[in-house]
Structures are given as structure tokens and as C-alpha cells.
A = this chain, B = another copy of it.
Amino acid sequence: MTRNIVQTLTSDKHAKEFSPFLEPAYQVKPGEWIRIETLCASSGVIKETVRAATNDELHAKTGWVHGMPMTGPIYVEGAEPGDALAIYIDEITMDDYGWTVAQPGRGAAGELIEEAEVRVLPICDGAVEFGFGVNLPLRPMIGAIGTAPLDQAIGSGIPEAHGGNLDCTLIRPKATLYLPVNVAGALLGMGDLHAVMGDGEVGMAGLEVNGGVVAKLGLIKQTTMPLPVIDTGETISVIVSAPDLDEAARRSVQDIVKWIAAETELGINDANMLVSLVGDVRICQIVDPLMTCRLDMPKSVLATIGITLPDLSG
């Protein structure tokens, strides 16, 4: 496959929110290969390991200001409210270092942590050198990616129906993410790349990196499919964010059961049984203002009953 990148979108043009009120920074045609360069969650300021007695002191010492920069907004030609915007992720590249954190009171184990720390780790030969003899193979992903909500601005740290800070490990190379188009042009933004992150992002961060994404955009016109959806080639998942994991999990199940019952010959009982037998409800992240779950269904099973999604990879 020849990949002719027609436009590079640099990270100097970015916003710290997803908003219908922002002017587009870039304009892209569906079907074009583009490269989107992104800054890490600290806007690129963290470059060395720093320890401090408190989280406030850590932020002061590093110069790390809150609000993650999302490259964009990107106006997608032809995108209209009611469409689904498809983002096919072909490749993710990154700098040769990244950083992660431990912060007292933050993350699932925050109550055990006594010293605030950002730690920089080298990336070499396709792995993160963690120390203690441990090398972690890269599993690059996009932490935050979203479109403009209809009538409000939402900060880049928040996950919701527009996408945003989903922190879903499946938003990775060779996967296609589907997001809602709420306003003309969609106003896509992305950033917060991770070199590696476990499901849950349980300690408040993955390995946070500056980097770039090679992608192609597409549109599904006027669709009623639930959104966001991520298609990895092996699985198709509905992603839901909610105030707690129980609600996020429950709604992700309901969304896929309703989708199957609406689009196939299966009824509600059939769909409930099929999803219970081969649908995996999984956690994306547990550390953002809302919690995010997804429901993974085998793509081959959905194809057999008649639910398919386009292939943008070629």
C-alpha cells in the first residue's frame, strides 16, 4: 500500500477543550492520509524525573500546567451533524522517552503513595526501559481524541459521548475509531499519546509521550449506530463513559444489545444471550472525571449476523 501523506498537522495549533465555538486550525478531506503531531499531556514540559513532597509542589517544580493539548481543531470536509466520523489509525510514532507518575491521593492506589513523582523512562528498540531489569514492549495508543460537542465546550481531560479522554487501549494502530459528528466539520482533536498503558490507567498515567499519528478519515452518513465505537479488526466495541463503572458497564451492554436488535434479525432475547456468551465488558479507565467501559464483541460474530463496518485501511 502506498501511503501518500498530503498534510502534516503540527502540534503548535492545539486546544485544551473540545468545543463548537473554536475556529478550525486545519481542514482535511476524507480519504487523505494525514500526519497529526501531538504534545504529551504536560504540553511537552516534563523531560526529567522530579520528586516533591506534595502534588502542588511537583506541578510547580516541573512547570506542568493542567489541561492536555489536543492538536486541531480539524475541520473535516463534508462532515454533517448525524454522521459518524471514522478515524483509521495506521501508525503511531513517538519520542525516545516518556514519563509517568505517582501522586499521593490520586489513582486507584493513591492512598498508599507518600511522595509525588514524575519519572522519565527511556524508549529503546521498541520497548520502555522501566528499570529493575524490566523492559515493556511498546503498545502505543491515543489517550484523548474527540469531536466538538453540540452546544458546550468540554475539557480535554474528560471522556464523554463526543470521545475525549477515553484512555481506551484499543485506540491503537490498525484500529478505526468512530465518533459522533455534532457540528459541521466535526472539529476533531487528538493528543495524550501513550507508549504503553494497562487497561484502567490505574496509577493516573500511561507512559506519556510526544509523538505523531498517521491517519485517514472517513464518514458514515446519517447513522444511528451507538458511538463511540472502536473496530480493531478482531473486535468491535461500544465505549461508554458514566459517573461510575457500574453504570458505564451496564450502558455499554444495553447499547450493543439495542444495536444488534435494531440492525439484525435477532430479537432482544437473542441479543441478550449472544452478548452474555461472547461479549466482554471491559474497563478503559478509572481515573478520569467519568469512568469508561467498553463492550467488546467478536467482529466475526457481528459479521455473521449482518453488522459490518467499512475498511479504511487501503
Contact = CB atoms under 8 A, between A and B. Distances in A.
A277 B197 contact: yes
Nearest to A139: B278
A314 interface: no
Given A117-B269, A244-B246, A277 B101 contact: no
A148 B39 CA distance: 53
Contacts of A268: 102, 109, 112-114
A278 B102 CA distance: 15
Given A269-B102, A272-B102, A278 B196 contact: yes
Contacts of A253: 107-109, 200, 202-203
B108 A281 contact: yes
Interface in A188-202: 196-202
22 contacts: A101-B273, A102-B272, A107-B272, A109-B253, A109-B257, A112-B254, A113-B272, A132-B264, A132-B265, A132-B304, A134-B274, A134-B301, A198-B276, A198-B277, A202-B253, A203-B276, A203-B277, A206-B277, A244-B244, A244-B245, A245-B246, A246-B246
